[in-house]
């Protein structure tokens, strides 16, 4: 699937969809289960390549992971002290989450480790995790690049031998769930208190899972404290249910809003407030999305998302900024597609973190919009665009630049274009949503594999 060809949607979308398990929770379910004291059954793990990277990484470190006949997996936890040195460098592929979170675990081990990634991951910055882990006593080094103060993969992590990390108080300069999680993972092995102070509310899946497994964690506002004094060092082997990925759900919901809909439902979606900024942003843009069948699982609150009213004529430009951006960062490219179908100007601000994703997502989103015939102004921390007011996008070719979210956003735009849209370098969609094309086609889209 090197490219995808999208034909304009001739009829409203209709049907229901189940999406892959939440990628962020999936990574953590594998990491924490591996460190648990016993067997952990995980339900709903995504088959996407990013979660596979974490699974293979833990297997390389001596953790047995068994596929069950039910479609679930069983992680045979080895406890905090049971990991073994990998025979070779640990391959993280395109998964920055695998590399950054696993660094927190490996930083506390007695043995040396090396983590490598693909060409995209190899140019993503790693000083943000190296700095706090070094303060805890870890040894991390990487490759130099255009920024002399930065380091890049491969990451080399020195073994501690018989030493232990020390707890620290770390005030994050930028809210980042990955950095927070790396510190807390290292804190499981450290002496004393490990305290993380967030400047804003990032995803809290790590805190929820630590609490679920009995770790000595407290959360007070934006201050997370992990205190190992008096703790027996055992994570409970509690089962984990991974809900549907809201980032994947956002593409199906957006497709219904921009291409027209009779009724589309997306089942069992994670509804953690720190993951639903895209729903708030869609509301600002005039998109109606109903929540049905709300319930609670070990992975947090879930609900079915239903779109039964969607027309570009009713979408209006909006300002998307501040805390809403933090809760919808991964969804900003597809939100830009929705905004581009609306009437009026939309302004996306406070999104500088997009510059260091799988691609420079500010630059690649703006390039995609221009190719689609949308007027857009790029800024360092975001962009503004002039909506087409319901007019179709221009038929074109979109280069995803190896970024799965740009590729999927381009496909959704193609449903509302005036002719076929080709999205190149589309194999990366399997990173997070392997059944993306099949899911959309089942709702009435017409998407074909290109060359």
- DSSP track, 3-50: EEEEEPP-S-EEEEEE-PBPHHHHHHHHHHHHTBSSEEEEES---SHH
What is the rounded CA–CA span in Å between residue 251 and residue 112? Answer: 40
Active-site residue flag, 149? no
- Our CA dihedral for 318, 322, 323, 324, rounded to 10 degrees, sits at 20
By CB atoms closer than 10 A (0-12, 13-18, 19+), residue 233 is middle
Task: Tell how strand 319-320 and strand 345-348 pair up.
Answer: parallel
Q: Count H helices, E strands: the chain? A: 13, 24
What is the rounded CA–CA span in Å between residue 32 and residue 187? Answer: 13
Given the residues 304, 330, 399, 425, select the one marked as catalytic.
330
Question: In sequence order, what are the beta bridge partners of 379?
Answer: 382
At residue 410, the 3 state secondary structure works out as helix
* Residue 202 and residue 180 in contact, taking contact as beta carbons nearer than 8 Å: yes
Those residues with Cβ within 8 angstroms of residue 335's Cβ, 6 or more apart along the chain or in another chain: 250, 254, 278, 281, 282, 285, 320, 328, 348
CA distances from 135 to 131, 167, 233 (A): 6, 9, 22
What is the rounded CA–CA span in Å between residue 449 and residue 340? Answer: 25
Phi-psi group of 318: left, alpha or beta (phi > 0 → left; psi -120 to 50 → alpha; rest → beta): beta
Active site (catalytic) residues: 330
């Amino acid at each position: 699937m090197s490219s995808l060809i999208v034909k304009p949607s001739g009829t409203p979308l209709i049907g229901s969809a189940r999406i892959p398990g939440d990628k962020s929770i999936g990574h953590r379910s594998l990491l924490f289960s591996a460190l648990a004291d016993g067997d952990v059954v995980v339900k709903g793990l995504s088959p996407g390549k990013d979660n596979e990277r974490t699974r293979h990484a833990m297997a390389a470190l001596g953790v047995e992971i068994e596929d069950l006949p039910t479609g679930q997996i069983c992680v045979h936890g080895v406890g905090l002290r049971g990991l073994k040195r990998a025979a070779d460098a640990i391959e993280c592929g395109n998964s920055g989450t695998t590399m950054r979170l696993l660094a927190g675990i490996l930083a506390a081990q007695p043995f040396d480790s090396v983590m490598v990634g693909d060409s995209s991951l190899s140019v993503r910055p790693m000083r943000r995790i190296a700095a706090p882990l070094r303060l805890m006593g870890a040894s991390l080094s990487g490759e130099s690049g255009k920024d002399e103060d930065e380091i890049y993969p491969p990451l080399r992590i020195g073994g501690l031998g018989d030493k232990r990390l020390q707890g620290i108080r770390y005030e994050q300069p930028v809210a980042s769930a990955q950095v927070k999680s790396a510190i807390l993972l290292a804190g499981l092995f450290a002496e004393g208190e490990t305290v993380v102070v967030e400047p804003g509310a990032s995803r809290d899946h790590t805190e929820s899972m630590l609490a679920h497994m009995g770790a000595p964690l407290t959360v007070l506002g934006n201050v997370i404290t992990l205190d190992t004094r008096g703790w027996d060092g055992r994570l409970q082997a509690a089962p984990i249910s991974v809900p549907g990925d809201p980032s994947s759900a956002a593409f199906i919901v957006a497709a219904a809003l921009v291409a027209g809909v009779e009724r589309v439902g997306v089942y069992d979606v994670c509804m953690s407030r720190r993951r639903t900024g895209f729903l708030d942003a869609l509301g600002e843009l005039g998109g109606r999305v109903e929540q049905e069948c709300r319930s609670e699982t070990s992975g947090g609150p879930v609900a079915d998302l239903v779109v039964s009213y969607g027309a570009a004529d009713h979408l209006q430009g909006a300002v998307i900024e501040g805390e809403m951006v933090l809760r919808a960062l991964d969804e900003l490219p597809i939100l830009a597609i929705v905004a581009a179908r609306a009437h009026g100007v939309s302004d996306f601000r406070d999104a500088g973190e997009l510059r260091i994703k799988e691609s420079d997502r500010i630059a690649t989103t703006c390039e995609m919009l221009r190719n689609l015939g949308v007027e857009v102004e790029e800024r360092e921390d975001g962009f503004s665009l002039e909506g087409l007011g319901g007019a179709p996008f221009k038929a074109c070719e979109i280069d995803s630049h190896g970024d799965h979210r740009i590729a999927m956003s381009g496909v959704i735009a193609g449903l509302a274009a005036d002719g076929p849209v080709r999205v190149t370098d589309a194999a990366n969609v399997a990173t997070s949503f392997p059944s993306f094309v099949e899911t959309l086609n089942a709702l009435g889209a017409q998407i074909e594999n290109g060359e």
